[in-house]
Structure formats: structure tokens, C-alpha cells
Structure 1
Amino acid sequence: MSIILLTVLTILIYKLIKLTSKKWASPLLHPLLLCPIVIIVFIQMAGISADTYMNSAKVLTNLLGPATVAFAIPIYKHFHLVKKYIGNIIVSITIGTLVAISSTFVLSILLHLKTNFLISILPRSITTPIAIEVSKEIGGTPTLTTIFVIVTGVTGGIIGPFALKWLAIKSPIAKGLSLGMSAHGVGTSKAMEYGEQEATFSTLAMIFAAIITLGWGSFLIPLLMDIAHV
């Protein structure tokens, strides 16, 4: 099956599921949750190997770079707000990374997860490229880290909007920071649906979370390992 056909089918599947999720507002119909499942079923039924599909999907995957660079546009447009709230951004994201790492660590200890598993999931709350580097630095398994980064992003993208609504959070800045911190790239994509300000601060949250977690990777995480004797 040609690259063009598989690419078009992937886009159509995503669009169809997104339209369905808008008509019936259910977490189970979220495109980021349902689309991979439908695609997996499709390629299995069609007898297409995962490698063949991944090579075909490179057309879409290669757009990730330009899409990431495009995040700079709303930051530039709202730079006056960024300067005004830079202190809030740094403090809130620092606390967010601490909560993400410590909560993951505590739950892993309570569930008696193996050391390699525990180390690999600690950087799950940052964007994939940085998470992989942190995982390597602390002795984790990058492949396992990638899986949990994706799970975290998709889960945050699904639950995040409901949490914002339930907590009655109206501030574009608070919405953006919370989505970017909790669901990184997926959260930023969702923030864009709210507006440019939300997208701006979600992007900043994603960037700062990655930078700060890199610091924790050489200090906080090794300290937690020593405390737990793992």
C-alpha cells in the first residue's frame, strides 16, 4: 500500500474520530486515545507490518519539527505577558516538576516496582526528546520512558479539560501552564483550541518543565534513589 494512501487514511481516521468526539463528548472517544487503536486494528486486518506503516507515516512525523517551531509564534505575539508573569511561570513549573517526580516516585515505591522500571518512568512528565535524555542520564530505559511520556500526554490531554472545567479555572495563563505542565505536547495542542494565550503559556510550561527536570535528573532523582536504597 502506497505511502500517500496510508497517509491519507491516517488523516481521514483522525478527522472522523475528532468529528465523532465533538458530537459525543466522551473521554473514550478522544482522538488521541481512539485513533491509535483504530489504526492498529486496521493495519493488522490489512496485513501491514508496523515498520511499513511507520515508514509511511514519516510524512506526518516529519511535520513535528515545523509544528514545534511554530509554537514560537504565539510566544512572540504575547511576549509582554511572558515578561510580566515570568516569576509565576518559573515558580509554578518548578513546583509542578517536583510534584510530578515525587508523586511518581512514591506511587512506584508503594507498588513495589522494579528499580529499572521506577527510574524509567520518573521523567514521564516532560516532552519525549528531553525525557529520553534524562532517562539515559539516570540509568533508565529510554523506550520504556517514551511509552509513559505518551501515556501521560494522552491521559492529560483527555482529563485536563475536564479538570479545568471542574475547578472553574478561567485564566488563560493558568489553563496554559497547567496543560503544558501536565500533558506537554498533547496539552499544548489542546491549549491551542482554547486560544493563543493558552497556547503561549502551555508552550512555555513545556519548555521550562523540560529544562528544570534536566536539573532534577542530576540532583533530585539520584537523591530519591539513595533515600529509597534502590
Structure 2
Amino acid sequence: MSILIAVVSLLGTIAIFYTCKVFYQKFKKEWLTPMLITPLVIIFVLLLTGTSYDSYNAGANILTNLLGPATIAFAVPIYKNFSLLKQHAFEIFLSIAIGSAVAIISSFFIALVVGLNDKLVHSLVPRSVTTPIAMDISNMIGGSPTLTAVFVMTTGILGSLLAPIIIRISHFRSPSAKGLMLGMGAHGTGTSKAFEFGELEGTFASLAMVVAALISIVLSTIFFPVFEQFVMNILLP
């Protein structure tokens, strides 16, 4: 029975995602993005059928394990446009480094203001990194990888929903500006959205996501503990 539930969970998740994708491509409404609708439909089905998350995840976990290879696949467009990326190397790395630092620091202060405990604080800090790496960072700094995955997904969905609005309001024209913003602010989900704008936007988003992950590993594991201790010494002398 458990094997049957696992198989149904896996195939059902794929079917729901592609159904949502068809609706999204037909109506082109931001709120119909599969990354938002698919989890909501799955939650509804689990509640309706009384299926536990553990039973569902026994099959669907295969998709989670594919996040790593999927992230690596973003290296293909980076390789194809490597000469273009070299021309903007300084601006790219500087902007991503600043973006990564702001993401970590803002997450930390938001968590303090809301009054989250230490585990939740450390789970929230890596929210602006692609899921597989964010979960590893969370584990290294004392957070909960499962909660971090939720925070990352929420950040990615909100980022991909808000980015087109920000692009229109700010009148962004440069593919690099669109791509770097989406890759840095919404990681994998944002990168997928960037490819809807064009290949160059997707390439810059891919680079932003990968470089942000590498920079965030260093900032989160080396500099963040020192920064956290410094802030806490000021607030709680």
C-alpha cells in the first residue's frame, strides 16, 4: 500500500505541475504560475484524502533529489554565453556580493524584529539561495533544513511574482539587470521566470543564482556568526 501511495504521489505531482503549466501558458497570469498553484493543489488533495506528508513525500522525494542536477544544468547557458559574461564580470560579482550580504543581514534583522527563536533565525538566513545549498547552509549554522526549504520556496515564488511588476515600474531594459535581479532575488524560480524574458536574461539569472550560492556559503558560515555575535552583544550586553 505504501508503495502504491509513493507511486501515486510522484506521478500525481508531475501531472498536477504540467496541468498548472498548461493553464499558465494559456492565460499568462502571474498568479497562475505553477510554482504557486501546484503546492496549493497538492496541499488541498492531501487534506481531502487524509494522506500524511510522510506518505506523500516517500514518492515525491525523488523530485526533491533532482534539485541538485537541475541546478547544475543552469551551467549550460552560462557556458554558451561565457564571453559576454566576462565583459561584465566586475559588475556582476560586485552586485551579487552586495545582494547576498543584504539578503542575509535583512533576514537576520527581520527574524529578530518578529521575535523568532535561534533555530528559526538560522533557518531564515539562507532563504535567498537555491534550495539544495540553502538547506546545507541551514544545517551548518544550526537551522532546520526543512524550514529553510519552505522559506526559500516562499522567497522564490514572491520574487518571481513581484519581479515583472518591478521591471515594468522601473523600466528595466537591460537583459543583465533583469536576469541578475531575478537570479539573486528569487534563485531557481526566478531563473525560470528569467528564461521567459529571453535566453540572455536566463543566462544572467543562472550566473547570479550560482555565484550567490557560493558567496552565501562563505558569508553565512564565516562572517554571519561573527556578525550575529556582535549584534547580540549590543542588544543584550
TM (norm. structure 2) is 0.85
> Is 1:110 aligned to residue 95 of structure 2?
no
Shift of 1:46: 3.2
Shift of 1:111: 2.2
Gaps in structure 2 of 5+ consecutive residues: none
The one-character-per-residue Cα deviations of 1:182-208 (angstroms, maximum 9, x if unpaired) are 111111111121221111111111111
More displaced 10-residue stretch of structure 1: 209-218 or 220-229? 220-229
- Secondary structure in 2 matching 1:139: coil
Equivalent residue, structure 1, for 2:168? 165
Shift of 1:12: 3.4
Equivalent residue, structure 2, for 1:85? 88
- Call closer, same or farther: CA 1:161–1:84 in 2, change over 3 Å: same
Equivalent residue, structure 1, for 2:48? 45
Equivalent residue, structure 1, for 2:15? 12
The answer on whether the counterparts of 2:191 and 2:205 sit within 8 Å (CA) in structure 1 is yes
Report the residue type matching 1:198 in the other structure. Answer: E
Aligned residue pairs, count:
230
> Is 1:99 aligned to residue 102 of structure 2?
yes
Q: How does 1:75-224 map to 2 (within 5 A)?
A: 75-224=78-227
Distance across 1 between alignment mates of 2:137 and 2:9: 34
Distance across 1 between alignment mates of 2:62 and 2:135: 23
The answer on whether the counterparts of 2:179 and 2:200 sit within 8 Å (CA) in structure 1 is yes
Shift of 1:88: 1.1
Report the residue type matching 1:33 in the other structure. Answer: L
- Call closer, same or farther: CA 1:210–1:63 in 2, change over 3 Å: closer
Gaps in structure 1 of 5+ consecutive residues: none
Distance across 1 between alignment mates of 2:148 and 2:221: 17
- Call closer, same or farther: CA 1:43–1:224 in 2, change over 3 Å: same
Shift of 1:125: 0.7
Distance across 2 between alignment mates of 1:69 and 1:123: 19
- Call closer, same or farther: CA 1:225–1:12 in 2, change over 3 Å: same
- Secondary structure in 2 matching 1:135: helix
Shift of 1:76: 1.4
Distance across 1 between alignment mates of 2:60 and 2:131: 18
Two-structure CA RMSD over aligned residues (Å): 2.4
- Call closer, same or farther: CA 1:31–1:226 in 2, change over 3 Å: same
Report the residue type matching 1:117 in the other structure. Answer: L
Shift of 1:62: 5.0
